[in-house]
Amino acid sequence: KNEVEQSPQNLTAQEGEFITINCSYSVGISALHWLQQHPGGGIVSLFMLSSGKKKHGRLIATINIQEKHSSLHITASHPRDSAVYICAVPLLSGGGADGLTFGKGTHLIIQP
């Protein structure tokens, strides 16, 4: 069974700072997901990636399959980026269809 570790657990930064959130997982995967959850709110899928790098606006996600590690970066951070960011991978290795297992999340606060 796959296990996911995220760091940091909590992060407070000033508006405009470059933010990095890290995720490590224990067994090989087909793809990794980055999700965003606002307090009391729903979950938004930000990225699903299986190799290399993806960019969407100010968000960048990278993955190193060999090292079983992914990072989520936010450039020019803004208070509206304040949320919980969650890394998720398939429960089981093998690449087949599967439910997800999740990291505990990174609570990000961007102060104006």
User: What whole-number distance in Å separates Cα of residue 64 and Cα of residue 108?
Assistant: 23
Distances (CA, A) of 68 to 4, 20, 32, 82, 101: 10, 17, 10, 26, 15
98 lies in the binding site for other proteins (CB under 8 A): yes
Q: Which of 101, 86, 99 is nearest to 44 (CA)?
A: 86
Which segment (12-20, 30-38, 54-62, 69-77) binds other proteins by CB under 8 A?
30-38
DSSP SS3 for 66: coil
Q: Which of 39, 28, 49 is nearest to 95 (CA)?
A: 28
33 lies in the binding site for other proteins (CB under 8 A): yes
57 lies in the binding site for other proteins (CB under 8 A): no
Binders of other proteins among 59-88, rule CB under 8 A? 86, 88
Residues in binding contact with other proteins, number by CB under 8 A:
24
Distance in Å, CB of 99 to other proteins, minimum: 4
Task: List residues near other proteins by CB under 8 A.
Answer: 30-31, 33, 35, 41-45, 48, 86, 88, 91, 95-105
